């Protein structure tokens, strides 16, 4: 099994989470988030929530906010389509929402099965009223996550940050 090499920008995401007081991190794992997920597991002030499917994390994040806590959902692009209906909970009730999506299926992708959902990822969010931000280079990640956390939890905005596959690196088969 391949073990992903930590990216420095994954620490930038973690540090932005700490600064914003994120306490719940639901996730469907992806290699692009592996180091961040490990850091969440190592942090006693954060509750990692492993999911069976991505839309569970939308609902749990809304529940966290009802209880006054902040949650960010981690997933990969292949799971975005699973979320569409559950995003109606976010938009209808005006919940704050942030998800960080590692992109597969776009930059030097070998597995063509990942491509259709990758291409539909921005549209899937936008059609449900979620703003899409994208990071292509390492230095963008920290400031983008910081800005999105502020917008989400200071004024109940709904945002998906896409981490480009070019940033993550292509998966070698």
Partner 1 sequence: MSEMVTIERRAAVENLLQNRDDMLVVCGLGSSTYDVYAAGDHHANFYLWGAMGGAVMIGLGLAIAEPDRQVMVITGDGEALMGIGALATVAAQKPNNLSIVVLDNGHFGETGMQKSHTSHGVDLAEIAAGCGFVGCQTIYDYDVLDAFTNKPNDPTGPRLAVVKITTDNPPRALPNVDGIYVKTRLRQWLGHQPC
Residue 113 has, within 13 A of its CA and on its CB side, a CA count of 2
- Using CB under 8 A as the binding rule, whether residue 167 contacts partner 1 is answered as no
Among 114, 148, 154, 112, which residue's Cα sits nearest to residue 133? 148
Which of 2, 67, 172, 173 lies at the binding interface for partner 1 (CB under 8 A)? 67
- Using CB under 8 A as the binding rule, whether residue 47 contacts partner 1 is answered as yes
CA–CA dist 173, 166 (Å, integer): 16
100-108, 120-128, 137-145, 149-157 -> range binding partner 1 (CB under 8 A):
149-157
The backbone torsions φ and ψ at residue 70, rounded to the nearest 5 degrees and listed phi first, read -105, 140
Coil, strand or helix: which one is 134?
Answer: strand
Min CB(24)–partner 1 separation in Å: 6
Min CB(45)–partner 1 separation in Å: 12
Among 65, 68, 66, 71, which residue's Cα sits nearest to residue 48? 71
- Using CB under 8 A as the binding rule, whether residue 147 contacts partner 1 is answered as no
Which of 17, 65, 97, 125 lies at the binding interface for partner 1 (CB under 8 A)? 65
**Residue 95 is encoded by which pair of tokens?**
């919940």
- Using CB under 8 A as the binding rule, whether residue 44 contacts partner 1 is answered as no
CA–CA dist 61, 27 (Å, integer): 11
- Using CB under 8 A as the binding rule, whether residue 51 contacts partner 1 is answered as yes
Min CB(153)–partner 1 separation in Å: 8
68-76, 127-135, 139-147, 161-169 -> range binding partner 1 (CB under 8 A):
68-76
Run of H or E including 41: helix 34-42
- Within 10 angstroms of residue 144's Cβ, the number of other Cβ atoms is 22
Min CB(87)–partner 1 separation in Å: 9
7-15, 31-39, 42-50, 118-126 -> range binding partner 1 (CB under 8 A):
42-50
């Amino acid at each position: 099994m391949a073990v992903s090499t930590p990216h420095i920008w994954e620490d930038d995401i973690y540090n932005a989470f700490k600064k914003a007081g994120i306490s719940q991190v639901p996730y469907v794992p992806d290699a692009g988030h592996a180091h961040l997920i490990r850091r969440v597991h190592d942090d006693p002030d954060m509750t990692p929530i492993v999911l069976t499917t991505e839309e569970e994390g939308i609902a749990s994040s809304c529940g966290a906010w009802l209880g006054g806590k902040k949650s960010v959902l981690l997933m990969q692009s292949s799971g975005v389509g699973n979320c569409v209906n559950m995003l109606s909970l976010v938009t209808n009730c005006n919940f704050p929402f942030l998800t960080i999506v590692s992109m597969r299926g776009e930059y030097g992708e070998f597995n063509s099965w990942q491509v259709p959902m990758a291409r539909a990822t921005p549209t899937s969010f936008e059609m449900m009223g979620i703003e899409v931000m994208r990071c292509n280079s390492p230095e963008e990640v920290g400031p983008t996550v910081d800005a999105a956390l502020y917008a989400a939890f200071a004024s109940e905005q709904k945002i998906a940050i896409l981490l480009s596959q070019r940033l993550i690196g292509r998966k070698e088969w």
